[in-house]
Amino acid sequence: KHKQIPSVYGILVFKNQQLSYSGSTYIVVRSGKHDYSTAFTYLTSLFKYLSLNKFKECSHTDNSEIKLIFIVFTDGGPDQKPRFPKTQ
């Protein structure tokens, strides 16, 4: 049985002091049979996402540094809970 592991990265945009979900979206689908679902694989996907020009205007400063405030939301699945040794 083949399992697919999706990851969705999106930009939340603040306009007129209100939160909007209208920012760009990046979707990664990994093979559950051939890839691991660990903190490192999620970090690799995140760095790939941050390297795309489309997202740099929201994630980087004018000096090409990652912005100081960076918020990540997760669905809390078992592969994202740090209490499990596999994800630490």
CA distance 68 to 82: 23
Kindly calculate the radius of gyration of the chain based on its CA atoms and give it in whole angstroms: 15
Ranges 27-31, 69-73, 76-80: which has the least confidence: 76-80
pTM of the model: 0.58
CA dist., res. 68 & res. 71, Å (int)? 10
Listed in sequence order, the residues at least 6 apart from 3 whose beta carbon sits closer than 8 Å to its beta carbon are 31, 32, 33
Q: How confident is the model at residue 7 (pLDDT cuts 50, 70, 90)?
A: confident
d(CA 88, CA 49): 22
The band of 84, judged by pLDDT with boundaries at 50, 70 and 90, is low
